[in-house]
Structure 1
């Protein structure tokens, strides 16, 4: 079976019962109560769509979610803290999050890079209890 070389963009939207996801390019649609469940369901739906032609893995999927929905779901991520971490005006980031302004591609990359950096820092941290 051939390996699929392209990234498939999957649009994620928050719903009342969890999340939905779809591709604008292919007939791929799914839902999930949580983000991890949605990611697994999207992979399964994509694999079913291409099962006769290509081998699909997580690396083939590119998930996208808008700013407001991202910060609504990941409430633990404080936009003021993120703005300070990436050297951005907190008011400007807040306007992006609330949908009052649309960030440029460079600003989006800067924000995403900051989110990835925070995620990396958190993944390398161990918590201990000192008595």
Structure 2
């Protein structure tokens, strides 16, 4: 099998039991109770689809997308006002994006995603201790 540089866009949607994901351009779809389970299941489904073509895939070949409203509904721990202040965006504007009242430009989307990644990186580098 040959490794592929193919990028497969997987659209993620929340469901009553977790998440579903489907590829825009291929008949690849799956579900998962959690995001990590969904990503693993999506990779397995994509591998099965491309197996006949002799194409080997890994997680780098998959690009997961979820809309703003569903993202902030799931990740309630991310406070939109805090995020807006962190990235220098008007909190009301970010709220309008989150509620689906306005659509952010590609530049604004990248700015928001960069802020989310920055918060994630900061959290990943912290250890919690208890001092009694």
Task: Specify if TM > 0.5.
Answer: yes
* Equivalent position of 1:108 in the other structure: 109
Provide the rounded CA distance (Å) in 1 between the counterparts of 2:20 and 2:59.
17
* Equivalent position of 1:42 in the other structure: 42
* Equivalent position of 2:83 in the other structure: 82
* Equivalent position of 2:65 in the other structure: 64
Per the TM alignment, residue 82 of structure 1 is displaced from its structure 2 partner at its CA by 0.3
Provide the rounded CA distance (Å) in 2 between the counterparts of 1:122 and 1:59.
23
4+ residue stretches of structure 1 with deviation over 6 A?
none
**1:33-55 deviation per Cα after TM superposition (whole angstroms, max 9, x unaligned):** 11111111101101111123211
Provide the rounded CA distance (Å) in 2 between the counterparts of 1:6 and 1:55.
10
**1:73-115 deviation per Cα after TM superposition (whole angstroms, max 9, x unaligned):** 0000000000000000000000000000000000000000000
**Structure 1 unaligned regions, length at least 5:** none
* Equivalent position of 2:74 in the other structure: 73
Per the TM alignment, residue 130 of structure 1 is displaced from its structure 2 partner at its CA by 1.0
Per the TM alignment, residue 21 of structure 1 is displaced from its structure 2 partner at its CA by 0.3
> In the comparison of the two structures, how many residue pairs are matched?
131
* Equivalent position of 1:96 in the other structure: 97
Provide the rounded CA distance (Å) in 1 between the counterparts of 2:90 and 2:106.
17
* Equivalent position of 2:13 in the other structure: 13
Provide the rounded CA distance (Å) in 2 between the counterparts of 1:122 and 1:90.
22
TM-score normalised by structure 2 residue count:
0.97
**RMSD between aligned alpha carbons?**
0.7
